[in-house]
Structure 1
Amino acid sequence: MNSVKFLLISLAFFSLNFCEAGPCIDVVIPCVKGDLEILPFCIKGIRKNVKAANRIIIISKEKLTDDAEWVPESNFPFSKEDVAMHLTTDEDSRRKLLDKGGRAGWYLQQLLKLYAPFVIDGISENVLIVDADTVFLNPVTFLGNDGLGLYDFGNEKHPPYFDHMQRLLPALKKVDPKKSGIVHHMLFQKKYLKELFEKVEARHHLPFWKAFCSQVAPQDLFFSGASEYEIYFNFMLSKKGSRMIRPLKHLNVSSIKNLEKYKKEGYHYVSCHYYLRD
């Protein structure tokens, strides 16, 4: 009887963590109401084009769709108010961060992404984070045959991101001056993310999220003072043999009206940011 039970548990674990051709990828999409228009296209694009995609999970304050699993923000060990409190000790600045359109929510989104692989029950070792305003149009693979993560890159250059990154972990630097991790998605592999957390927590003697907030410079607080994608991307670039770089064709667009056109033109994905929308 025990052997049968063990076999059933083993099969359940296998089905959750392995797809037809190897390890599965669970996909996490943090979302706010402002991206509701694009979210259905984001989910559909993942289902159709992300190879080995298994679960699709939305993180949001309240449930926004029936087309994917939902994990509430309240499951995480911090709230928007907590983030504001640890970004600054100044009460006026905290209020400004928490005002409508304030940056506390922007920093919160980054931490939700970073913590998702540790907070969400039963999630894969391979977690693809996708911004809710990003739509995959053509097939994309995120794991090599050897299990190495495959990473795209951009060309963004924003010095405060790297200043914050080095305060967080001095050994962490921008590895390639021509490559940025800002591509609106990122494959997190739990073993490497855990290593990153441990290094940061050992240095600052704080939980990772508090250390992350504490190192945002006051002059950058209300702008763009940190990037979760640059932190993880450069951490992975610094680890030889742990990842592969493969460029994808991508584009920032002002509307999702022409998705079929972009698909035919060979774009792997497009992103339609709120500040660019028609």
Structure 2
Amino acid sequence: MWQPPDSTLLACPAPEAAGEGSAGGRGGELPPISVVILAAQKDMSGLDVCIRGVLAHSLNPVVLVQVVAQRLPPRSRGEVDSRVVWSDERHCIPSSRGVRQYLQGLGRDPSTASWYFQQLAKLRCFDVLPAGAPQHVLVVDADFVFLRDMAFVDGQGNSVLPYGYPLSWRLNTRVHRLPDRHTALEAAGRLIPGWLPVDAYSGMQHHMVFDRAILDDLVQRAQDAHGMPFWQAFLRCADPRKWTGASEYVLYRHFAARFFPERVRHRHVDAVDVVQAEGDGGFVLPEVTAAARGSSLHAVGCHRFLHYAERLATMDYIPVDLRRTVCAEPVPLQLRLHDGLLTIKNANPPLTLV
């Protein structure tokens, strides 16, 4: 199980560009990928923007975009792209209802069921794809859009994974350290014997490239260690006191980097995320995307959270003084991540990202 270090500063690798130059080849020379997008009802207003961003900017040939949602749109698939296929999330195993019932059986708060369902669906992304799907799947959150050409698997067949946000949110610096406490690290350490973080970055940046061989190995190790189906072990190892009691992206990125270093590479993705409370008004993904026009950003996101203030209050990777400030007045925030440098400011209209 992961144990916190003695405030050790970590030397992180030099940042690698996210664009075409780091890909190792043009689109036709790169391995094909499938794409999986999980979409809740709150994501529908920006889903087309998300899909178009992937199709327009993936240098890897995209053979299929599998959208998993509870309510399927009334339009035909062909109106977006013939590669876009829709499936009903209630057919996933486990379903959101199944997760809720299992949490209730454990005596835990079932209101987090949808949060854990989408994590488990990502970790079982190959299950929703047809036989013969490519070796790699790009999972993209439905409220995130790519703005520039990017390769997700290089010419040697290596997954290109995002460093993502620091595991501890130290602002205005590129020097990061492993935190004294981090719920997702502890959950991953309980789930996988020998799991340890490899650096001070989380891998959390609203997308991940999953390699079938790596993911199968991760799942098998968890099942062997706990003697139960993977999804049940995952839920049992999540911290029941937290909204974010586990993280699929933290779990996978550090597992892949530790146990399969020869199959993965890592890069910083220059992006802005707008985070806000669920409800009427606020920003929408097309609006944030338009505000980024002309910028150097690789991607933008626009996220709405139920129980926004409560979630922020339980995120132990946010420093106490920052958490106190944002929870006192839970306004929309604009998070900028650039080569490991994190800055945060209020998101006020008119939004300016350039």
Q: Sort the TM-score into its range (normalised by shorter chain).
A: 0.7 to 0.9
Among 247, 251, 269, the alignment partner of 1:231 is: 251
Q: TM-score, normalised by structure 2?
A: 0.66
Matches within 5 A, 1:202-221: 202-220=224-242
Residue 15 of structure 1 corresponds to which residue in structure 2? none
Among 92, 106, 117, the alignment partner of 1:76 is: 92
Contact 2:208 2:249 in 1 (8 A): yes
SS where residue 228 of structure 2 aligns? coil
Residue 251 of structure 1 corresponds to which residue in structure 2? 272
Deviation per CA, 1:185-223, whole angstroms, max 9, x where unpaired? 000010110011111111011111111011122322xx1
Contact 1:153 1:247 in 2 (8 A): yes
Residue 28 of structure 1 corresponds to which residue in structure 2? 36
Residue 124 of structure 1 corresponds to which residue in structure 2? 134
Residue 133 of structure 1 corresponds to which residue in structure 2? 143
Q: Distance in 1 between matches of 2:269 and 2:239?
A: 32
Among 179, 195, 198, the alignment partner of 1:175 is: 198
Matches within 5 A, 1:3-14: none
Instruction: Give identity over the alignment, percent.
Output: 28
Contact 2:68 2:87 in 1 (8 A): yes
Contact 2:66 2:129 in 1 (8 A): no
SS where residue 193 of structure 2 aligns? coil
The AA in structure 2 aligned to 1:28 is V
Matches within 5 A, 1:122-201: 122=131, 123-157=133-167, 159-177=182-200, 179-201=201-223
Alignment root-mean-square deviation, CA: 2.0
Among 229, 241, 262, the alignment partner of 1:241 is: 262
SS where residue 261 of structure 2 aligns? coil
SS where residue 124 of structure 2 aligns? helix
Residue 113 of structure 1 corresponds to which residue in structure 2? 122
Q: Distance in 2 between matches of 1:119 and 1:48?
A: 23
Residue 58 of structure 1 corresponds to which residue in structure 2? 67
Q: Distance in 2 between matches of 1:62 and 1:261?
A: 29
Q: How many residues are aligned here?
A: 250
Deviation per CA, 1:165-192, whole angstroms, max 9, x where unpaired? 0110131122102x11101000001011
Deviation per CA, 1:70-126, whole angstroms, max 9, x where unpaired? 1222332212222123335355x4xx52xxxx2100100011111121332133211
Residue 15 of structure 2 corresponds to which residue in structure 1? none
Unaligned runs of 5+ in 2: 1-26, 169-181, 275-282, 306-331, 334-348, 350-354
SS where residue 197 of structure 2 aligns? coil
- 1:237 Cα offset (Å): 1.3
SS where residue 183 of structure 1 aligns? coil
More helix by share: 1
Contact 1:86 1:214 in 2 (8 A): no
The AA in structure 2 aligned to 1:194 is D
Q: Distance in 1 between matches of 2:115 and 2:230?
A: 17
The AA in structure 2 aligned to 1:130 is V
Unaligned runs of 5+ in 1: 1-18
Q: Distance in 1 between matches of 2:98 and 2:112?
A: 13
- 1:49 Cα offset (Å): 0.6
The AA in structure 1 aligned to 2:289 is L
